[in-house]
Structures are given as C-alpha cells and as structure tokens.
Amino acid sequence: MNYTNYLNQKRYLCLDGLRCLSILAVIWHHAGYPYWDHIYLASQGFHGVTLFFVISGFLITSLLLKEKRTKGKIDLKKFYIRRTLRIFPLYYCVLLIYILLVLVLEPDTPTGTAFLDNLKYFATYTSNVFVPFVAGDRIIFFFAWSLAAEEQFYLIWPTIERMIAPVISIPLLILIIIASILLHYTGVDSDNLYLRALDIIAIPICIGVVLAHTLANKKGYQFVSPLIARPESSLIFLIAMLTSLAIKGVPLILVYIFMALLIASCVTSPRPIVRPLLENSFARKIGQISYGMYLLHMLAYNFVAKVVTYLNIDYWLITFLATMVLTALLGLSSFHLFEQHFLKLKSNFS
C-alpha cells in the first residue's frame, strides 16, 4: 500500500480483530491463567491491556492528524463530546452496578469499605494514581486503572496535538518515554510530583502515538514501509510479539514495539497474512463490543466462579469458556441495548 492509499483509508478493519485478541487475553488472565500457569506465556494475558493501549494511542492520534490534515484544525469540543458519548455512559452505569452490589453484598467487609473509600478515584478516572496495587489483595473495580490512563491521555494529548507542532511534540514524547523507562529500571521511589507523573504515564499509549506520526509523515512512511507493508510482515510481528511475551526477562519496551509493528503491518498491507485471523466476522464483532466486555468481564467471572464452586466443578477450561461466553453475551447486550443509543449521537459531532 502506498502512502496516499494509507492516508485515504476510512477505517482500519484489522483493529477490531486486534481488540478481540486483547479482550480474550484479559479474560484469560482472570479466568484461565490462575488454573493453568505452568507455561510462562500463559501468565502474560494482562498484556491484552497493553495492546489496547498501543491501539488507542495509534488510532486516536491518527484520527486527530487526519482531522488536522483535512480541515486545517482539530475541533477539541467535538472530540471531547464524541469521547464522552463513547466512554462515560457505560462506565458510570457499570460503576453504579458495582456500588449497588457492594452495598447489598459487602457493605461492612474490609474489601467493600475500601471500594467505597476509593469511589471518588474511580468516579474521576484517577484510580491509577491513588489506588495502589498490592499483590494478593482483592481490590474491587481495580481494572479501571487502565481506563483512567486512557482517559488522561484523551484529556491531554489532543490539546498538545492541536497546539504544538510534531517537530517539537514527538521528540519531547520520545524523551518522556526514555525517562519513564529509566525511572522504572532505577526503581526511584519519590514523592516528587514530576517523577510521580512520569511513573504513571502509559508508555504503550505513547508508542502508539509515535507510530501514528511515523506513518502519517510521508518520509517516515516511505522509510518504514519496506519493512512493515509486506503481506508476511504481520505474521512475523505477531510471532515476534508472542515470542517476546513467552521469554521471561525480555524488556517491556521491546514488547510494546512489536505490538506497534504488528499494528503497522496490518494497517499498511492491503492483504496481510493474518487477515483471516483479524478480519473474520467473529473477531470483528468481539472487537466492536470489547469496551463493554472489558467493563463487564469481572462481573461475569465472579458469577461463574461462584456457580462452578457451588456445583463443585474444578476444571479451569469450563471456568474460562463460561466466563468468555457470558462476557460476550453481556457485551452484546450492552452494545445493542445501551451503548448504541449514545453512539448514534456521535454522528452529530463527526
């Protein structure tokens, strides 16, 4: 695919398939991995969130760049209205369900009390900053940390994209990525506000942003396209990503880069080899409803876990498959009965 054809794409069909892989990996992490952990790759399902991050950084930035290129500017008001219609209704609806369940089932337990104490952070998308993860602890609604990280990206990056030229913003972003990596490996524990902000930056989202700018730039596209635009490249990078996840000790930045290259190879090749995997009707539908599935998957898992315990079923595959099916059904119901009412309104602000 040449540069002009890449820019003129109306939709990246493969991204729904990649979202499908992401949400299935997340469900596996909670419903399958705890029962089947003798292979290291099986323990890496949480990186489904990482792939979500890279996709978000790439897609949102690509859309912003396209708007800037075709209309001359980015309409921040319409952008935030579209994001609000897509994200807020279901998020706060699910949060309300959690509140009711906690008040009914766990009002006086330490876990329930902690959830109610943390409610202000979940409601303001700041749980990634103020709700620390402690290994072994059960933290209700903890998965919302990733949604908080994405919401913070939506809040900050479009304004930067509109006001600062890429020749300044992208080198600065790369420096932030490097600094964040160094902070991670040096293990600096500080109350310094700037170091704390650096520590919570989602590097995979930043990698997605850099990818979007690389492909949107003609020279950048022409430089990387011989590597990524070949049909077999998508399979090579998919294998490379899985291999990097399967080997303990591989630097995470390498995992992020392979994820970005996989996305790049899928959106720049007219017929990538992995197309049957990512663009079939099942993968595209699961990818389409993946946001709802992510918000609802722990409700599904906890229900399934109680049922299999009650029935004395001790087989991990049943737990995983039942959770996956129930989550998909909840996601489909949410998308068609609830989310679409708000999604239809987005066309008024496109």
pLDDT digits (tens, 9 = 90+) for 123-159: 999 999 899 887 778 899 999 999 999 999 999 999 9
The stretch 264-268 carries a mean pLDDT of 96
Number of domains in the chain: 1
The percent of residues in the chain predicted with pLDDT above 70, rounded, is 94
pLDDT at 207 over 80: yes
User: Distance between CA 323 and CA 329 in Å, rounded?
Assistant: 10
Residue 50, Cα to own-chain centre: how many angstroms?
6
At residue 333 the predicted structure's pLDDT band, cuts being 50, 70 and 90, is very high
The percent of residues in the chain predicted with pLDDT above 90, rounded, is 75
Return the higher-pLDDT residue of 330 and 347: 330
Residue 260 corresponds to which tokens in the numbers above?
Answer: 């970005």
**Domain of residue 18, residue span:** 3-349
pLDDT at 13 over 90: no
pLDDT at 349 over 70: yes
What's the whole-model pTM score? 0.93
For the stretch 177-185, contacts whose Cβ atoms lie closer than 8 Å and that sit 24 or more positions apart, written own/partner, are 177/203, 177/206, 177/207, 177/210, 177/253, 181/253
Q: Poorest-confidence range of 21-35, 253-267, 326-340?
A: 21-35
